[in-house]
Every structure is written in C-alpha cells, then in structure tokens.
C-alpha cells in the first residue's frame, strides 16, 4: 500500500517542487511500463503532430470498427505513455478494441486548458482516420476521467457529434475540494491525500474558479451525453466525485451506471487483483449492451 501513495502523492503544496515532479513522472513511467502485461498485444508509438501517441492492439490481425480513446490519470501533472500502458493493455484485452493513448501536455508547465486542446487533437486524428464519433469510446481514470468528461463537453459546445459511450474509473470530477469523502475517507484511502489533490489542482487550475465545468465537470449540463459507466472504490477520497456525478447525470436523463467496489482504492483497476479483472469484464459487458 505504501507503493500506491508513493505512486500518486507528491506531498503538500509547499513541497511541490520540480524535483518532486520529475521524480514522480519518471517512477510512474517506469512502473507503468513494467506493470503492463503485454502478452498477445502490440504497442505502437508514433508522433501525432508534436504530441506523442500510441496504439494498443491485439497481436493477431483483426478489424475493429470501434476504438477507445484513453485519457491517462496523474493529476494533470504526471503520467505519460508508459503509465498509460497498464490500463490501455487491460482495456484492449477485455474489449478486443484498439486503444489510442496520447501524451497530453502536463501542468504546471502547461496548465488548463492545454490537456483539453491535446485531447481534441487526438479526437480529430481519429476522425481523420475515418472513425465516426459514435464509433469512439472515451475512457479515462482519475484526472483522465475529468479530461474525458470535459472533452465531451467541449465537443458538444462546438456543435460536434459525441462519442458512443464514456468509461470512467475513479474520476476526479470536483476541484472545489468540498466533497464529503475528501475528509471522511482520508484515513482509509491508501493512494491519495487531500494535500495531493490540492497541490495538483493549483498546478493545473491556478487562480481560476474551480467550480467552472471545464475544471469541475460535476457541475456541468450533461444533456445529450452518451451512456456512461462509472467505477469507484469505497476506500477513496474521490468517492463523492463519482457518487454525485452519477446522481446528476441520472437526474438529467442520462444512461449512467455507477459501480461501487467494496474495499477498493483509487484506480484499483490498474493492479493485478480479482476485483480489477472483474471490473474490466464489466466494462466489456457494458459496451456490448450499450453500443
């Protein structure tokens, strides 16, 4: 469990130094690459304009008419293609779909809205390849879940077609830091701390109003959104982010399914456990039912 906190948490905002950040980024990349099970899979990196991206595919030849656009987590301050390999490999193995991961720019060097701009570039790349919007599934974990939601909001704002479905794993949806679970579950969360959440929020959002939907999609208008699956563990400080999101989406008539996993922590799907495997199977079943 110490590894979980080391993997995610940088410490207090006062100790959020460039050295801390570089150390975390390197450790996540290395651990991500080592932890990803690549048997039967192919990982193809390529430049997408001036951004790095990669395809995760099944090794055997196949035609996939649908694709997953995966937004990695890391508090908008860390994570990358190496870190993306863990969940990208699991998503491909569970669904049989190709997964596109992209190396969006990170804060504090590139604060909001740089990540959204890069997400749009990845989306446009898929459109240029000939995928229809409804053929794309937006997926994200933690801050990547935030990015997936905000990307969908941006597409709707621009009058564009929306994806066929959204997959969210422990999404960070509320940057106001007012949620009940942020304090009530801090003692049982083995991965995240409120101090870490505050530090990465400041790095990404700076002095902007954290309640605006571009930062806290929890407070957005979700009308017209596609079917959405949310998975969250009981032992995480971002539990309320998922619970309240599901309530708001359902109240607005969205087909939203919330799965609460007992005794599980933030981003538990990344780890080699029975619960993680079952969660991936549920994702595959959800897509079969809704697409």
With CA atoms as reference, report the closest residue to 214 among 290, 147, 164: 147
The b/e string for 51-90 (b: 16+ C-beta within 10 A; e otherwise) is eebbbbbbeeeeebebbbbbbbbbbbbbbbbbbbbbbbbb
Tokens of 246: 């599901």
Which residues, in sequence order, are CB contacts of 115 under 8 Å at separation 6+? Answer: 76, 104, 105, 106, 107, 147, 204
CA 290 to chain CA mean position, Å:
20
- In this structure, the chain runs to a length of 291
- The token pair at 204 is 């990404």
The single residue of 9, 78, 142, 170 carrying the catalytic annotation is 142
CA 132 to chain centre: 22
Rounded CA-CA distance 188/242 in Å is 17
Is 39 an annotated catalytic residue? no
Q: Which residues are catalytic?
A: 142
């Amino acid at each position: 469990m110490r590894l979980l906190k080391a993997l995610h948490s940088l410490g207090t905002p006062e100790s959020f130094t460039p050295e801390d950040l570089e150390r975390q980024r390197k450790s996540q990349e290395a651990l991500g690459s080592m932890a990803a099970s690549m048997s039967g899979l192919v990982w193809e990196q390529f430049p997408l304009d001036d951004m790095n991206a990669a395809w995760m595919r099944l090794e055997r030849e196949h035609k996939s008419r649908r694709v997953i656009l995966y937004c990695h987590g890391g508090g908008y301050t860390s994570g990358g293609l190496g870190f993306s390999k863990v969940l990208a490999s699991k998503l491909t193995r569970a669904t049989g779909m190709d997964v596109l991961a992209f190396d969006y720019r990170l804060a504090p060097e590139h604060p909001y809205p740089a990540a959204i701009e890069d997400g749009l570039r990845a989306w446009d790349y898929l459109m240029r390849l000939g995928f229809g919007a409804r053929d794309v599934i937006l997926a994200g974990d933690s801050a990547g879940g935030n990015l997936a939601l905000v990307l969908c909001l941006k597409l709707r704002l621009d009058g564009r077609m929306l994806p066929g479905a959204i997959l969210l794993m422990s999404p960070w949806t509320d940057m106001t830091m007012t949620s009940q679970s942020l304090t009530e579950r801090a003692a049982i969360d083995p991965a995240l701390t409120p101090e870490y959440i505050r530090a990465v929020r400041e790095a990404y959002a700076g002095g902007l109003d954290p309640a605006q939907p571009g930062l806290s999609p929890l407070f957005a208008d979700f009308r017209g959104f596609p079917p959405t699956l949310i998975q969250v563990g009981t032992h995480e400080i971002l539990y309320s982010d998922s619970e309240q999101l599901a309530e708001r989406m359902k109240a607005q008539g969205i087909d939203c399914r919330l799965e609460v996993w007992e005794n599980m922590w933030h981003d538990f799907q990344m780890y080699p456990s029975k619960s993680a495997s079952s969660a991936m199977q549920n994702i595959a079943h959800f897509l079969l039912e809704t697409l």
